[in-house]
Amino acid sequence: MVKNKIFLGFFFLISAMVFAQRERVENLPTFDDRKIHYGFYLGLNQNDFKLNLRNSSIINADITVSPSTGFNVGLIADLRLHKNLNLRFEPGLMSNSKKIYFNHLAILRDSVREIGSTYLHVPLLLKFSTDRYKNIRPYVLAGISYDHNFSSNEANQNDNSAKEFRMKTHNFMYEVGIGIDIYLYFFKFSPSIRGVFAINNEVKYDNPKYDTSTGELIPSPWTAPINYMGTRGVFLTFAFE
């Protein structure tokens, strides 16, 4: 539902801005002639997890994720490669939180883990733009990014048996998006909406535990059922250049 609201809000914003600009004098006519330019961005994000569970007769797992809306802020360095192609470097900080529900666990304190995360988000993107029409210029973008999770707890020796859900610190993503450049009197305003998808498995598995009487491995009811857990998210970004 929140993602649908983000999409609707984005398209209403774009429609209003385009309508407001359609009859105006062309602003910043030489802006796109620059070889390099800089800017910054602000935005909202909603990050979820894509979960792939193992088929296991040992643990009949039921795991769900409840995301919330977070914030992102960063800088922009844009290199013009061609009149319709730019290379963009957009390092920034991103924060959000999620709750993971292990519905197969009966005890409430064991069945919920809240994950609050702060990331250094470092994307390298290719931006493909149409030719400019008056004061607007639609574009699509795609690229890869590196995320450093400051809240991962990967090095923590405690695991879920001590109520610590651990994730990997170093993660890699790919992202795609659409947006529009709107040329205002003093600067260029560029709203965009993007999808971000993890490449690697982000979960840090719980420490191995063994039955002292038989020596058999006891699977973790939290992480053992997870075959893959990776970020998937939506970013609503407002760039000022």
Q: Report pLDDT for 208.
A: 87
Of 208 and 144, the structure prediction assigns the larger pLDDT to: 144
Q: What is the mean pLDDT of the chain?
A: 88
- Report which of 216, 134, 222, 128 is spatially closest to residue 178, judged by C-alpha positions: 128
pLDDT at position 56 is 64
> Tens digit of pLDDT for each residue in 126-146?
999 999 999 999 999 999 999
**Other Cβ atoms within 10 Å of 35 Cβ, number:** 8
Predicted local confidence at residue 2, as pLDDT: 47
What's residue 215's pLDDT? 74
107-114: list long-range contacts, CB under 8 Å, 24+ apart: 109/163, 110/160, 110/221, 113/160, 113/163, 113/165, 113/222
Q: Is 75's pLDDT higher than 80?
A: yes
Could you tell me which CATH number the domain at 2-21+38-240 has? 2.40.160.20
Percentage of the chain modeled with pLDDT above 90: 64
Domain-by-domain residue ranges, the chain?
2-21+38-240
What value does the mean pLDDT take over residues 179-200? 96
Range from 20-34, 44-58, 127-141 that averages highest in pLDDT: 127-141
The residue with greater pLDDT, 21 or 154, is 154
Q: Locate tokens 């947006």: which residue?
A: 179
Q: Give the DSSP per-residue string, 98-133.
A: EEEEETT--SHHHHEEEEEEEEEEEEEEEEEE---B
Is residue 161 helix, strand or coil? helix
Query: Alpha-carbon distance 191 to 170, whole Å?
Result: 28
Residue-level pLDDT at 37: 95
Nearest to 137 by CA among 84, 209, 95, 58: 84
Does the pLDDT value for residue 14 go beyond 70? Answer: no
> Is the pLDDT reported for residue 20 higher than 80?
no
φ and ψ of 84, to 5 deg: -120, 10
201: three-class secondary structure by DSSP? coil
pLDDT confidence tier of residue 4, bands split at 50, 70 and 90? low
Give the pLDDT band (50/70/90) at residue 191: very high
Taking the alpha carbons at both ends of the chain, their separation in whole angstroms is 31
Q: Are 123 and 142 a contacting pair, CB within 8 Å?
A: no
Min mean pLDDT across 61-70, 178-187, 229-238 is at: 61-70
Handedness of CA 14, 182, 125, 68 (dihedral sign): negative
Query: Is pLDDT above 60 for 121?
Result: yes
How much is the pTM?
A: 0.83
